[in-house]
């Protein structure tokens, strides 16, 4: 099964670790392009790296990376949302990940969520996509 990991870039280390675990389990895994770039270019803090760009550079990069991630989702069977706690929000799902989930949903992809749904003003939209919550257990990832 081909799986694309969707997560806040703040979870870079968790993304890399989860991708390694999934590959060891036999899955083909794609991660956000920016995470791979951060590893290749030894960028420790993605947020600081992005903050040093002009607004125009940042928006061009954002557009490019969103399209690249959608292309990865097109080629996948499923996405895995890594929704760890962030900035006091339990099971954080930010704007980009919500968009990625919506895109995967529109393409009839399986949506796995590492943890339960966050308590946010768009909880119903997340639940309406009927993600499969795996409660932190990667062994629960199965192809329908």
DSSP code per residue over the chain:
-EEEEEE-GGGHHHHHHHHHHHHHTT-EEE--HHHHHHHHTT-S-HHHHHHTS-HHHHHHHHHHHHHHHHHHHHH-SEEEEE---BTTBTT---HHHHHHHHHHHHTT-EEEESS----STTHHHHHHT--EE-TT-GGG----
Instruction: Render pLDDT for 93-104 as a digit per residue (tens, 0 to 9).
Output: 999 999 999 999
CATH no., domain 2-140: 3.40.50
Distance CA 67, CA 11 (A): 20
| Among the listed residues 18, 92, 85, the one whose alpha carbon sits nearest the alpha carbon of residue 4 | 18
- Name the residue ranges covered by the structural domains of the chain: 2-140
Q: Supply the pLDDT for residue 39.
A: 66
pLDDT at 29 over 90: yes
Tell me what the mean pLDDT of segment 35-48 comes to: 69
Share of the chain above pLDDT 90, in %: 73
pTM as predicted = 0.91
Comparing 136 with 55, the larger pLDDT belongs to 136
Distance CA 77, CA 59 (A): 29
């Amino acid at each position: 099964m081909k799986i694309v990991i969707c997560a806040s870039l703040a979870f870079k280390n968790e993304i890399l670790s989860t991708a390694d675990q999934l590959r060891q389990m036999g899955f083909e895994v794609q991660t956000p392009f920016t995470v791979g770039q951060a590893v290749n270019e030894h960028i420790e803090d993605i947020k600081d790296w992005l903050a040093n760009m002009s607004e125009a550079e940042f928006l061009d990069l954002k557009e490019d990376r969103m399209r690249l991630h959608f292309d990865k989702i097109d080629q996948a069977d499923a996405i895995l949302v890594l929704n760890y706690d962030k900035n006091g929000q339990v099971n954080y799902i930010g704007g980009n990940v919500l968009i990625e989930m919506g895109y995967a949903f529109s393409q009839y992809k399986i949506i796995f969520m590492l943890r339960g749904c966050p308590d946010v003003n768009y909880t119903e939209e997340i639940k309406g996509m009927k993600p499969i919550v795996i409660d932190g257990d990667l062994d629960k990832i199965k192809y329908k």
